[in-house]
Structure 1
Amino acid sequence: MKTSEKPSLLSLRRYSLWAALLLVFSCSPDTVLNTEEPLEAANAKSKNAVLKTLVKGAPLNGANGVDIGPDGNLYIASVYGQEIIVMDKNSGKIIDRITEGVQSPDDLVFGPDGSLYWTDIITGEVGRRTPDGIVTKQAFLPGVNPIAFNDEGRLFIALDFLGDGLYEFDPDLIDTPRTIIECPTGFCLGFFNSFDFGPDGLLYGPLFALGQVIKVNVETGDFEIVASGFVNPAAAKFGPDGLLTVLDQTGEVFKIDVTTGEKTLFTTLEPGLDNMVFDEDGSLYMTNNDEGWVAEILPSGKARILSPGGQIMPQGLAVLAGPNNKDVVFTADIYNIREFNGTSGRQTEQYKGFLIPPPGVFSLPLSNGISAAGSDLIISSFLSSTVQVWNPTDGVTEDFGTQVEAPMDAVRINTGEVIVSDLVLGGVVRMSDNSLVAPLVVASGMATDGETVWAADWATGDIVQINFGGGSPTTEVVFSGLSFPEGMAVDNQGRLLVYETKGPSPAGVSRLSRIDLSTGERTTIVDGLEPLQGSLPIFPPQWFMDDVAVGPSGDIYISGGESQTIQKITANKVR
């Protein structure tokens, strides 16, 4: 059997270390909210609302595996949405969202009896939902991803990204899976992704990390290369023409004659392509994870969009001054840094991050946090375990990937030093000497005026103030009793803005608060916000962190992860 060398990966490491963090917030008492303070309440859902939707994102939090059900509808897996979407394949109308037993679905398929099967890639479970709605699951290994039946009704699943290898499963999800290709070190195959059985009974699919398409004898585990020269091929399916259609995350779609290995470019679409399925009539449906769209690919190669794309998980926000000192808004959207006009909301630029960078490319990470530092942006990524200093013109100028573990946010102070809030490292860490300067139970958002840093503790509801003006940093808790605080910013009057969320507590709230640091008074600027809710055992307890940022104009920008929006409060609306 041929083997593969391990590629250079952006690390998706240390997930297991985060599992211990669950004990912190699942066993902690509910946060006690301070209700004795005077409030200026402005309800986001009232007719006097101060919020304006500046950017509306995709309806889906990313679109992954796809299949056509016995009812003729599309069934679409969404890892970060933690759901399976049922969609009319003609109109794109969302008919249902399946969430029972669904944790992190990356791929799915219907079995011979009409049961829906899916793979929860992060939790390592395989799920089954029978036609009468009974859900059963089998625990296996993190990384379960591509899933397919052969003509005999046998079920096959491979591991990707969090593992590697190929297995045959019992369709009843009872018996122990049979090992076909095992990778004891976690990598030996190359991340065998969404695959399909050919007319010869062999299993054809792409090796995501190696840029190859292979065919596998599922009885012996022997395999050989069919085609190569791809970047990150993610799916391979046979069409009615007998050719193997292969999509690359670059946006390229190829047709391969598996008898000769001849490869022909069929069409080029947006980067981020994830999966596809052919209907019985030969129609081709495709998903894009990075953009969240679902489309029918016409014979001409053009995409007929069924469900539109856009930002899928707006998280960290930062604002720079653009031409005429107009606000330019940047958001961390996992696979992209997106740039928007702060007045119109129009997307003006898009900068790609990679799960696995193409060979020779030093890319942006999978981003979750972002903050402004002069003309630079500081990007943090717990998914890629890195912090980078990046400039839209000059690219990445500094990388702290060897010094951090699970960074949630990062800022730069006047000395030029980068300060990071890191879940696994236990709080606020300075990058100059890797010292822990402020322990936090659950590290969360940060803000700075250049000399002082404020850091939120998501678990305790505390705001810790760290002064870097002298020799050794000094710390003190300047506010307590907030509800699971996430993103923070300093407004143009030097007051602290804090995005409070519901978290797991029934007493939690969803509001933007302002803290006058000179008096300690907290004021509600707006409530009824829509932060993204979700959880997984090996993810940060915040799931994904919502944020707030202030522009040179004084306007306030808020991410709404639940609705995939960026919202805006103009300066003249804030009292």
Structure 2
Amino acid sequence: MSSSTDTRSSRFDPTGAWRPHTGEGWRAARLNHPNPLWGSNGVAFGPDGRLYVAQFLAGRISALDPATGDVETVVGPGSPVQAPDDLAFGADGAMYIADLTPGRVWRRDPAGSYTLVSDAVAQPNGITCVGDRLFVNEMRVEGRLVELFPDGRDPVVLADDLAFGNAMQRGPDGRLYYPHMLTGQVWRVHPDGGPPELFADRVDEPVAVRFDRGGALVVLSRGPAGVLTRIDPDGGRRTTLATGVTGLDNAAFDAENRMFVSSYASGGLTEVRPDGRTREVVPRGLNGPFGITVDLGGRVHAADHFSLTSAPLPDPGTPAASQPAWPDEALTRRLIIFAHGVTAEGGLLHVTTRLGEVHTHDPAADTTRVRATGLREPVGIVAAPDGTLLVAEAGAGRVVRIHEGGGLTVLAEGLEHPVDVALDAAGRCLVSDDRTGAVLRLDEDGAATTVADGLGAPQGLVVDGDALYTVETAHRRLTAISLTTGERRVVAERLPVGEPPGARRAEPAGPPGVVAPPPLFAGLALAPDGSLLLSANGEGTVLRLHRSDDCAD
């Protein structure tokens, strides 16, 4: 067995000792660095001077030193917090946490003990402290902004009818400022009550409001250009700045008025200077990845929950293990919210989403059209030779065919949990079921024949001639199965797929994927050069597995 030589630490293994083991004749290399922050959301400076970062997708809160970029997990495995999206510090040094998915607000005292402040706030997100007072808003339609009391008193509602609230802060005038994400507005209300007031309209996709040390309001955009809108305290003059950080989420100013921004779309932490220059404090990366595909031009596309992320496939002879081929600037991120599965067909990309939709995206024309809606947890997708799309609809236990001119037909139903689809040499559909541990072949009449069973939660599927490859996520290995003889061999094991050791994930609540981390899906793709690309979603990388005689030492 051979192994990768990359020893960088990851969220899957912070010791840096992880290595995938590959079978005889195979080699593995990462195409990008592991993601140090699995998405970065709320940020706030703590009493110790470090910047604390809530990671909704990871269920963690990390503290980092802005000078060095060193990251330490402070809230993680063993804590009651499941999906932290924002945080704030009280006057006594206690950390208050908006735990989005379970709908809870926590207090973590300086000694590290947790107290439940409230479970009566639906989808709590924006959170701020004014002295020893605590305010939270709801990220939902017709949400509320409330004051909470750690002593158990009933919440006091200050504002309602919020169109998706998010990160907020008290301004120099003593009022609380907060965004309406869906209407492009910033509102304000006095902490002691009174009618809410519209402060700014026609703001670019506002996701957070922050005041700098000079009292100017800075509004962050959640859009692709990473726009900052600065509104001067005197006269209200506006200026805008495009940071290039896709999917901004939150920001914090230090004592020297330096601005640090987070990104829900790509993680990391970036300093943004007044002239628009940026400094990467913690590198950005991938939130998954989940579905993965390669187009005929050799460009890799990964469904990454908040975006469709693309990068060129490097020459297989490039020694990429110690120097990944994808620095962040090589990645192209297109915001396709809740992207989960993807397949390339000619010049098009077909994407499934956690909203139950199937999209067809044309990168050349930069257009996207919706092909299907109302599906229950669509995951894997493949284009058939007749122009239709086959989709594994995990939540409905079926595989469906989506027709070019519209309409949907059912190819097979009554399955347990189909997650990926592939076509064999004869054009027949193969489907993996990660609950039954089987790969099935589907006929046009809906009959299913078992190709392989006894597998450990198989997900991603690829067919290359007689070889069927599947990612056994329960065993963290990639297995090759002969379609004629059934013979099996391990291509790679000790793969960083699935949950990192000790991690706990919040279960979805309400519409799938809207307020919960997505279910992990380890996608698999076949590149034009015959190499395999695997979604190493335990650490945020794409692994390339290729036969050793195709690779330079």
Specify the TM-score bucket, using the shorter chain as the normaliser.
Answer: 0.7 to 0.9
Opposite residue 175 of structure 1, the aligned amino acid is R
The yes-or-no answer on 1:385 pairing with 2:385 is: no
CA distance in 2, matches of 1:380, 1:211: 27
Contact 1:62 1:312 in 2 (8 A): yes
CA distance in 2, matches of 1:370, 1:292: 21
CA distance in 1, matches of 2:419, 2:304: 17
The yes-or-no answer on 1:196 pairing with 2:175 is: no
Contact 1:428 1:439 in 2 (8 A): no
> Could you tell me how far 1:221 is from its partner in structure 2?
5.5
For the structure 1 residues 399 and 321, does the alpha-carbon distance in structure 2 shift closer, same or farther, using more than 3 Å as the test?
A: same
CA distance in 1, matches of 2:48, 2:333: 39
Return the TM-score normalized by structure 1: 0.81
User: SS in structure 2 opposite 1:311?
Assistant: coil
Opposite residue 258 of structure 2, the aligned amino acid is S
For the structure 1 residues 175 and 495, does the alpha-carbon distance in structure 2 shift closer, same or farther, using more than 3 Å as the test?
A: farther
The yes-or-no answer on 1:155 pairing with 2:125 is: no
Opposite residue 239 of structure 1, the aligned amino acid is D
5 Å-filtered alignment, 1:331-370, equals 331-344=302-315, 345-346=325-326, 350-353=332-335, 364-370=336-342
Q: Which residue of 2 aligns with 1:247?
A: 220
Opposite residue 452 of structure 1, the aligned amino acid is R
Q: Which residue of 1 aligns with 2:184?
A: 211
CA distance in 2, matches of 1:176, 1:422: 42
Q: Which residue of 2 aligns with 1:527?
A: 493
CA distance in 2, matches of 1:477, 1:542: 28
Opposite residue 139 of structure 1, the aligned amino acid is D
CA distance in 1, matches of 2:293, 2:279: 33
The yes-or-no answer on 1:79 pairing with 2:62 is: no
- Aligned with residue 458 of structure 1, among 434, 441, 462: 434
Alpha-carbon displacement from aligned partner over 1:517-544 (angstroms, at most 9, x marks no partner): 2112221111010013153221689822
Q: Which residue of 1 aligns with 2:319?
A: none
User: SS in structure 2 opposite 1:274?
Assistant: strand
Q: Which residue of 1 aligns with 2:10?
A: none
> Could you tell me how far 1:46 is from its partner in structure 2?
9.5
User: SS in structure 2 opposite 1:424?
Assistant: helix
Contact 1:319 1:551 in 2 (8 A): yes
The yes-or-no answer on 1:559 pairing with 2:526 is: no
> Could you tell me how far 1:392 is from its partner in structure 2?
2.1
Contact 1:57 1:309 in 2 (8 A): no
Q: Which residue of 2 aligns with 1:29?
A: none
Q: Which residue of 1 aligns with 2:12?
A: none
Contact 2:158 2:189 in 1 (8 A): no
The yes-or-no answer on 1:53 pairing with 2:26 is: no
For the structure 1 residues 303 and 394, does the alpha-carbon distance in structure 2 shift closer, same or farther, using more than 3 Å as the test?
A: closer
Opposite residue 338 of structure 2, the aligned amino acid is L
- Aligned with residue 179 of structure 1, among 157, 161, 179: 157
Q: Which residue of 1 aligns with 2:387?
A: 416
> Could you tell me how far 1:54 is from its partner in structure 2?
1.8
For the structure 1 residues 106 and 572, does the alpha-carbon distance in structure 2 shift closer, same or farther, using more than 3 Å as the test?
A: same
Contact 1:530 1:560 in 2 (8 A): yes
Q: Which residue of 1 aligns with 2:4?
A: none
User: SS in structure 2 opposite 1:313?
Assistant: coil
Q: Which residue of 1 aligns with 2:14?
A: none
- Aligned with residue 512 of structure 1, among 478, 482, 486: 478
> Could you tell me how far 1:157 is from its partner in structure 2?
0.5
Contact 1:123 1:141 in 2 (8 A): no
- Aligned with residue 501 of structure 1, among 461, 465, 473: 473
User: SS in structure 1 opposite 2:485?
Assistant: coil
Q: Which residue of 2 aligns with 1:91?
A: 68
Contact 1:57 1:312 in 2 (8 A): no
Alpha-carbon displacement from aligned partner over 1:163-184 (angstroms, at most 9, x marks no partner): 7221111134x333223334xx
> Could you tell me how far 1:97 is from its partner in structure 2?
4.2
Q: Which residue of 2 aligns with 1:445?
A: 420
81-90 or 530-539, larger mean C-alpha shift: 530-539
Q: Which residue of 2 aligns with 1:262?
A: 237
> Could you tell me how far 1:118 is from its partner in structure 2?
1.0
> Could you tell me how far 1:259 is from its partner in structure 2?
5.5
> Could you tell me how far 1:423 is from its partner in structure 2?
2.8
> Could you tell me how far 1:549 is from its partner in structure 2?
0.7
Contact 1:556 1:571 in 2 (8 A): no
For the structure 1 residues 351 and 280, does the alpha-carbon distance in structure 2 shift closer, same or farther, using more than 3 Å as the test?
A: closer
- Aligned with residue 373 of structure 1, among 339, 342, 345: 345
Contact 2:25 2:547 in 1 (8 A): no
CA distance in 2, matches of 1:244, 1:374: 46
Alpha-carbon displacement from aligned partner over 1:218-275 (angstroms, at most 9, x marks no partner): 4445222212222211111122211112111231112213553322225533221110
Opposite residue 217 of structure 2, the aligned amino acid is L
Opposite residue 537 of structure 2, the aligned amino acid is G
CA distance in 2, matches of 1:523, 1:46: 8
Opposite residue 202 of structure 2, the aligned amino acid is G
Contact 2:84 2:98 in 1 (8 A): yes
> Could you tell me how far 1:83 is from its partner in structure 2?
0.5
Opposite residue 352 of structure 1, the aligned amino acid is R
Opposite residue 132 of structure 1, the aligned amino acid is A
For the structure 1 residues 419 and 175, does the alpha-carbon distance in structure 2 shift closer, same or farther, using more than 3 Å as the test?
A: farther
**Structure 2: 5+ residue stretches without partners:** 1-18, 316-324
Opposite residue 140 of structure 1, the aligned amino acid is A
For the structure 1 residues 554 and 229, does the alpha-carbon distance in structure 2 shift closer, same or farther, using more than 3 Å as the test?
A: same
- Aligned with residue 166 of structure 1, among 135, 139, 145: 145
The yes-or-no answer on 1:307 pairing with 2:282 is: yes
Q: Which residue of 2 aligns with 1:284?
A: 259
Opposite residue 149 of structure 1, the aligned amino acid is C
Contact 2:140 2:165 in 1 (8 A): no
CA distance in 2, matches of 1:305, 1:114: 28
**Structure 1: 5+ residue stretches without partners:** 1-41, 183-187, 354-363, 503-508
> Could you tell me how far 1:48 is from its partner in structure 2?
8.6
Opposite residue 455 of structure 1, the aligned amino acid is V
Contact 2:23 2:491 in 1 (8 A): no
For the structure 1 residues 397 and 256, does the alpha-carbon distance in structure 2 shift closer, same or farther, using more than 3 Å as the test?
A: closer
For the structure 1 residues 92 and 572, does the alpha-carbon distance in structure 2 shift closer, same or farther, using more than 3 Å as the test?
A: closer
RMSD, matched Cα: 2.5
For the structure 1 residues 74 and 45, does the alpha-carbon distance in structure 2 shift closer, same or farther, using more than 3 Å as the test?
A: farther
Opposite residue 124 of structure 2, the aligned amino acid is V
CA distance in 2, matches of 1:419, 1:162: 34
Q: Which residue of 2 aligns with 1:537?
A: 507
> Could you tell me how far 1:372 is from its partner in structure 2?
2.6
The yes-or-no answer on 1:101 pairing with 2:101 is: no
User: SS in structure 1 opposite 2:294?
Assistant: strand
User: SS in structure 2 opposite 1:149?
Assistant: strand
Contact 1:536 1:543 in 2 (8 A): no
Alpha-carbon displacement from aligned partner over 1:399-457 (angstroms, at most 9, x marks no partner): 23424132112222222222221233222223344436132222312222372111111
397-406 or 479-488, larger mean C-alpha shift: 397-406
> Could you tell me how far 1:329 is from its partner in structure 2?
1.6
Opposite residue 414 of structure 2, the aligned amino acid is P
427-436 or 543-552, larger mean C-alpha shift: 427-436
Q: Which residue of 2 aligns with 1:549?
A: 525
Contact 1:557 1:567 in 2 (8 A): yes
Contact 1:227 1:263 in 2 (8 A): no
5 Å-filtered alignment, 1:5-16, equals none
The yes-or-no answer on 1:228 pairing with 2:201 is: yes
Alpha-carbon displacement from aligned partner over 1:454-498 (angstroms, at most 9, x marks no partner): 111111111121123xxx33322221111111211112x232111
CA distance in 2, matches of 1:433, 1:77: 40
